[in-house]
Chains A and B, each alone.
Chain A
Amino acid sequence: MLIWIGIIVIIVVIVFALIYWGFYNRIIRLENRIDNSWAQIDVQLKRRADLIPNLMETVKGYMKHERETLESVTNARSALLKAQTPQQNIDADNMLSGALKTLFAVAENYPDLKANQNFLNLQDELAHTENKIAYSRQHFNDSVLAFNNTIETFPGNVFAKRMGKKERQMLQIPDADREVPKVSF
């Protein structure tokens, strides 16, 4: 009799250990995914900031009379480089998106510029980077959602509490961006 009770206790302990093991790894993995996708956003933002000087160099010769437009792009870029917190980062990036949109709209009036191969390549690549930023934010929010779902539902919440894990915040994406990032090439 005692042997049976002993065996049952051991089995229960092993099952609990396995469940804990599974959830521990899952929570850590999901948390790492959040950090990794944040790093991804950062990479894309930097890449975009790096493209701007090239664009300015190309555009400068053609758009002599559009100082204001050019300046707003440069200002948005330096705000992006100075940004410290995630929210500042996103605000500066939105500013840059707006400034670039204006610049490309104005560029429509310069047929010579529009025929410039270098300009066209930069335009493609900037649109591509903008999409990548939008998608990496979306993936960040997806990762946060998966993490939060795991640590808030039973039995994940029990383990999360023991591990001291707290709910993460999603990025606030402006309404205009929540739509599909439809940046046309």
Chain B
Amino acid sequence: MIDIMQKQILVEDHIRKNKQATFLICIFMVLLLFSVIFAIGYVLGFPPIFATAIGLPITLVYIFITYSFSVQSVISAAGARPANPNNRDEKILIYKVEEMAIAAGLPTPKVYVQDSTDINAFATGKKPEGAIICATTGAIQKLNNEELEGVIGHEMSHIKNRDILVMTVTVGVVGAIALLSEIAIRSLFWGGGRGKKGEGNIILLVVLILSIILAPIFSRLTYFAISRKREYLADANGAYLTRNPEGLSKALEKIKADFPDDPKGSKTVAPLYIANPFKRSLRNSVWSTHPPIDERIKRLRAM
């Protein structure tokens, strides 16, 4: 019992830090996006005030749109549909989501199903009210109740830790920055940069161009780092909800063994899943959205 109490305090502490970090990361991502737009504007020859006057509204409107339509776009990118309570497997998925929501003290999320033979699941939404948990038909069929419960507990923790918001915003910003810098680099190569400046401005120009090139890499790396850390936290917190780390570790083992020959799904949504649908990285790399499955299993078993 004392053991559980200490873990609870640790988990709560993590969640509080996680929520604070969520806010900072969102602001950081918005600033990053803005600076890229600003840099592009400047390189293209707009004076700083103009670049700000154009860049700031574009950034805010883009963030607003991403935020407003995030849930619909994730659901349609995954090709998910609402779970059917008349199908026994899907009914049990709904039951498990209800049970985990009670354990976490959260409103019950909507339950979606994605038709796919892979074992996977993800959570999305802006806040716990109106959040969505989606599991693949493969997960429902191949996992037993204990394992399914572990997976749903993991997803419920993403909702409880407010990971879903930061993931949604960063997915949007990372995508936008990648697109913008590609456009910028192309337009520079094809003789953009109309503003012919004096010698003194060349260094500034180089810095700006570098920032346009580096921003996508930088934003991605930040995102991956955040994402890996949050997966560990969701594993630990999910195991705390079910009081059964073994359920999730067995599910992860099945996921590892069941790697599909023909991975399906949308690359944009990939970081949201419990395990990366495109690769099962065995080593820890700065480019992975998820920590290696073996390491996750090891940490769960040590709980």
Contact = CB atoms under 8 A, between A and B. Distances in A.
B16 to A, nearest CB: 11
Interface in B59-90: 88
A128 B95 contact: yes
Secondary structure dominating the interface of B: helix
Contact of A139 (B5, B104, B242): B104
Interface stretch (A53-61, A87-95, A143-151): A143-151
Given A132-B99, A180-B242, A184-B145, A149 B105 contact: no
A147 to B, nearest CB: 12
B103 interface: yes
The listed residue with most A CB atoms (<10 A of its CB), out of B9, B105, B247, is: B105
Contacts of B100: 135
Interface residues of A, number: 22
A117 B88 CA distance: 11
A69 interface: no
Nearest to A146: B12
Nearest to B94: A128
A66 interface: no
B266 to A, nearest CB: 32
Contacts of A33: 105
Contacts of A143: 105
B103 A139 contact: yes
Contacts of B8: 142, 145-146
A84 B174 CA distance: 57
Contacts of B95: 124, 128, 131
A80 B139 CA distance: 37
A72 interface: no
A138 B5 contact: no
Given A145-B5, A185-B92, A138 B98 contact: no
Interface string B95-128: 1001110111100000000000000000000000
Contacts of A146: 8, 12
A146 B7 CA distance: 12
Interface string A89-124: 000000000000000000000000000000000001
B283 interface: no
Interface string B240-283: 00111001000000000000000000000000000000000000
Interface of B: 5, 8-9, 12, 88, 91-92, 95, 98-100, 102-105, 145-146, 242-244, 247
Instruction: List 9 A-B pairs, minimum CB-CB distance, nearest first.
Output: A135-B103, A180-B244, A128-B95, A135-B102, A131-B99, A139-B105, A136-B102, A135-B99, A180-B243
